[in-house]
């Protein structure tokens, strides 16, 4: 990974961390959030941070890897909050996002 990619990943992690802190700080005062249509992303191409459930493709964008790598990490037990819907993977946001932000994601 080049230094530019590492810097970009650090910047994204910092933005995600700030968003989560702000989200949890006023969660008691907020209306329930409706997730956008499947495949919706924020203007910067990242999945929204307030969803309850994420797909393998969205998790791959968070981690900066391919969806195939996400499936491999799941098979090795390296990602929390996973459950299956048919043959596809889904991830619980409240378990996965803190794990990623703490830097424990491989």
In 3-state terms, what secondary structure has residue 83?
A: strand
Strand partners, 54: 91
Question: Is 46 contained in some domain?
Answer: yes
Question: Is 81 contained in some domain?
Answer: yes
> With contact defined as beta carbons under 8 Å apart, do 102 and 21 qualify?
no
* Tally of domains within the chain: 1
Instruction: Print pLDDT tens along the chain (106 aa).
Output: 677 777 777 877 877 777 767 666 655 555 544 444 555 555 556 666 667 899 999 989 888 899 999 999 999 998 888 999 998 899 998 888 888 777 766 6
Question: Is 106 contained in some domain?
Answer: no
Question: Is 76 contained in some domain?
Answer: yes
> With contact defined as beta carbons under 8 Å apart, do 20 and 49 qualify?
yes
pTM of the model: 0.54
Domain coverage including residue 58: 3-101
* Residue 3: C-alpha distances to residues 6, 7, 8, 37, 48 (Å): 5, 6, 8, 34, 26
Q: Which residue has the tokens 């989200």?
A: 23
Strand partners, 47: none
Question: Is 60 contained in some domain?
Answer: yes
């Amino acid at each position: 990974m080049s230094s530019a990619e590492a810097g970009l990943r650090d910047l994204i992690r910092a933005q995600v961390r700030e968003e989560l802190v702000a989200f949890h700080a006023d969660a008691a005062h907020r209306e329930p959030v409706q997730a956008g249509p499947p495949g919706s992303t924020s203007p910067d191409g990242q999945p929204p941070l307030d969803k309850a459930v994420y797909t393998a493709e969205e998790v791959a964008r968070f981690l900066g890897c391919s969806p195939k790598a996400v499936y491999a990490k799941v098979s090795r037990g390296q990602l929390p909050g996973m459950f299956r819907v048919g043959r596809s993977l889904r991830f619980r946001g409240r378990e996965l996002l803190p794990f990623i932000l703490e830097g424990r994601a491989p």
